Each structure stands twice: as C-alpha cells, then as structure tokens.
Amino acid sequence: MRLMTVALTIFFLSSCASLTGNMDALEYDVKNLKAQVATINAKLQDATTKLSKLESQESTVTTVNALRESQADINSKFSKLSQEFKHISSRIDENKYNTGLSIKETSADREVMKAQLGTLETMVKELQLTVGNLDASVKAKAATQPQASTQTQAVVPQPQVVTQSKTPVNKSQKKDTTVAAVTTPPDQKDNNNEEGVVADNNKKSSAKSIYESASKDCDAGFYKAARDKLYKLLKDEPKGAYAELSNFMIADTYYKEGSYEDAIIQYEEVLKKFPKSKIIPDALLKQGLSFIQLGGEQNIGTAKLIFKQLITKFPKSNEAVTAKDKLDSLTPKPKVKKKAGATTEQ
C-alpha cells in the first residue's frame, strides 16, 4: 500500500513539474516573440519616417500613396498582433498551474502568432526595401538636376500687389447674400428629415446587396473583387449585421485562392472578434487546414493542436469529425511486426 502511495506521489509531482516546465517554456517563447515584435516595430517606424520625407516630392506622390496603403495594412495587423500578445500572456499567468489542456490551447495560440509574426516581418521587409529604393531614386534624381531646379525658381513670376480691385463693396448686397446662404425654409427642414430616414433605409439595403454581390463573386472565383466589396462594407459598418459573415468570407477568399498565411491571420481575426459565433468550428478547422497546406513539421504540429482544440471545444460538431479524420491521417500508424517463423498457407 505504501509503495502504491509513493508511486502515485511521484507520478503526481512529476506531472506538476512537467506542466510547470511547459508553461515556463511558453513564457520564454512569448518573450522571444515580443522581442521580434519590438524589432519589427522599429523597422516599421524607420520606413514611416522615410515615407513622410518622400511625400514632399511631387514625382513620387503616386508611389508614396500606394506605400501608405501598404503601411496602413501593416499597422493594422501589427496592432492586432500586439493585442494577441497581451491575451496569451494573461492566459499563461492564469493557467500556469492548471491542466495540460490549458497548455495545449496556449501552445496553439503561440504557434498561430508565430505564423502571423512571420507574415508581418515579410511585409515590413518588403515595405522597407521599396521605400529604400524610392528614397535612393529621389536622391539620385535631385543630384543630377540641381541647376534646372535653380533656374526654374529664378523665373517664377512674383505676385503683383497692384492687381487688387479697388471697386467698393456693397455692404447691403454682401449681407443679403450671407443671409440667403444660411437661412433654410421650414418645409425644406422637413424634407431633410425625410431624406435622412430614406438614406438610413437605403444604407441597410445597400449593406445586404454588397454582401450578396461579394458572395456571388466568391462563388464565381473572383476572390479579390469579393474582398474589395467586403472590406468597404466593414469600413462603412464595422459592427453592422454583416460584420461577422464578412470577416469570415474574407478569410475564405484567402483560403480558396491559396493565400494560406493571410487566411490564418483572418480566421484568427474571426476567432478573436466573434468567440461565441456558430462559425467558430469552421474557422478553427480551416485555420488548421491552412497550416497543413503551408507544410513543414512545425506547421503540421500547430495544425494538430488546433484540431485537438476544435475536438475538445466542439465535440459534437461536423467539423470535429473532420478534424479527427485529419488527425488520424497526420498520425503515423505503428508498423505491425510479423512473428518469427510465421508461414503462409498455400
């Protein structure tokens, strides 16, 4: 009896040590990820500063505007990633001495963030490279045309002060014009109110028509066109009736066109914004499938964690059944050894 008690005690202590060790490892990984985020942020700020300087060059306005859009997209993703770091850090603190399930869930979050961080870092590098090339091009152009700029400045005509009209202004006429501009008849105000109600109704029907149009584009394989419509819809109504479905469809367009890294990030957006939605099982499943498509041992491992999380949280869902099948296919089956001396019957 004592021996059994000692064995159980050793097992319990080793399990606790293992759990605590795993959580410590997670904390270490998160700290490393935070350091990478800080580095990326510094690079992003450097690119932003250069962009601000380049905006004064008329010849680069179009290019700078395009880069600004890219920078805005990166800033948005960077902000979301920072929020996720706060989320996972708080979960580590809460679950440090909890069960292994908490560790698996936190590990899955960490691996998703690693993938997002890799995508973000690539985007920042591309932005830096483009800004650097543009900066060098502007400097080279300025160095080869210093005299032309000076001559141009010399022939610029100065404004003539004497061109101002000395005709006296009719004060009563000016006053009448001002009154006419700011006075609105009562019947016009009523019309404005009616127009406001109509505009509101039109806005609601417009959101529905935009979503349905994007859905048709997605079904037809016009994924970018669908995304453009959905992003516009979300910009106009970020918390509207179609916000949840629009976010999910955007993720689906990335998944269907094979942009799996973008799909992973967008599915994560759905998971964070709508944690109680009915589409969460589908989002988890497709996020896991996206990691599989990326390939590599680490991505496959992350996919397994996501599938296990899906099975645990939504065991009765159809997506859980698919996740189990995928897990089975990803888990190598042990080879059956033939017994020595076995013969085959003729």
Q: DSSP of 197-222, one letter per residue?
A: HHHHHHHHHHHHHHHHHHHHHHHHT-
pLDDT top residue among 17 and 25: 25
- How far apart CA 29 and CA 35 sit, in angstroms, is 10
Give the pLDDT confidence score for residue 85 in this predicted structure: 63
Distance (Å, whole) CA 261 – CA 296 = 13
Q: Taking residues 132-159, what's their average pLDDT?
A: 54
Q: Give me the percent of the chain exceeding a pLDDT of 90.
A: 28
Looking at residue 207, what is its pLDDT?
A: 85
**Of residues 119 and 103, more confidently modeled:** 119
Band of pLDDT at residue 22, cut at 50, 70 and 90: low
Establish how many alpha carbons lie within 13 A of residue 14's alpha carbon, considering only the half-sphere containing its beta carbon: 6
Sign of torsion, CA 161 167 168 173?
negative
pLDDT confidence tier of residue 250, bands split at 50, 70 and 90: very high
For residue 335, is pLDDT > 60? yes
Q: How far apart are the C-alpha atoms of 323 and 320, rounded to whole Å?
A: 5
Residue 157's identity, in one-letter code, is: P
> What percentage of the chain's residues is helix, strand, coil (to nearest 5)?
80, 0, 20
> What is the arithmetic mean of pLDDT over 114-143?
66
Instruction: Give the model's confidence band at 13: pLDDT under 50 very low, under 70 low, under 90 confident, else very high.
Output: very low
- Mean pLDDT in residue range 312-333: 92
Backbone angles phi, psi at 306, to 5 degrees: -65, -40
